[in-house]
Homo-oligomer: A and B are copies of this chain.
Amino acid sequence: MSTAHSARARARIEVTAAIKDEARRQLAAEGAAKLSLRAVARELGMVSSALYRYFPSRDDLLTALIIDAYDSVGEAAETALGAAGDADPVERWTVVCEAVRTWALAHPHEYALIYGTPIPGYVAPETTVPAAARVALVLIGIVRDARMGPGLDLPPLPADLEAEAERMAADFASDLPPAVAPALVAAWAQLFGLIGFELFGQFHRVVEEREAFFRNAARHLAHGVGLS
């Protein structure tokens, strides 16, 4: 299906990819705020208006980069899980967390693009949802697999969360006890709190041994979702 329908169609695919590649380069070098369509076009030897044949606006180009970034970090998580083999659940969880952190440190501007301040006035189209979910699905999978082994052990939920927990579980963890759903979501958000603080400089002069610190925190997150 990727075979050409026509020379023009093939060219379009290639130019689109070239634009994204150059945009990704500039994103990595300078950050999303300094990514400019004109600079991308210049680097590609086109005139800036020609670029609008491929992306109707700067935001659309960013959206493409956002999806790629979600897929990139999702793939990093999935690969790490695969490489973890049959280690115990806590170790699998920790390894995946570390993979996400490593990816973030290697791609700080792409991380910022997806987990940092949203582009003002920009609303992520639904297209991004499947890519965005990949990391979360990996984490959920670890808990799911662990359930086959030793049971999960979680504190009871407050009454005002029971209905919500059941709704959540029905959405994305229907084969797990409801109490695990809010714990998972919280751990998921907290994981990115740890990574974001490190990446965005809040740990400056606060945390020095960052690998050890993170690993320890990630293990505690695992316990928080009932792994042991």
Binding site for B on A (CB under 8 A): 30-34, 109, 112, 115-121, 124, 132, 157-158, 160-161, 163-164, 167-168, 171-172, 182-183, 185-186, 188-194, 196-198, 200-203, 206-209, 212-213, 215-217, 220, 224
Contact = CB atoms under 8 A, between A and B. Distances in A.
Contact of A212 (B34, B158, B188, B201): B158
17 contacts: A30-B120, A34-B121, A112-B118, A115-B202, A116-B116, A118-B201, A132-B202, A158-B215, A161-B209, A171-B206, A182-B213, A182-B216, A185-B203, A185-B213, A189-B198, A190-B190, A190-B217
Nearest to A207: B185
Given A31-B120, A164-B208, 4 more contacts: A32-B120, A115-B200, A172-B206, A189-B190
Given A117-B116, A213-B161, A224-B220, A206 B194 contact: no
Contacts of A207: 164, 168, 182, 185
Nearest to A133: B206
A120 B186 CA distance: 29
A168 B33 CA distance: 34
Nearest to A215: B158
A30 B220 CA distance: 38
Nearest to A189: B197
Copies of this chain, tallied across the complex: 2
Which secondary structure dominates chain A's binding surface? helix
A191 B196 CA distance: 12
A200 B168 contact: no
Contacts of A121: 30-31, 34
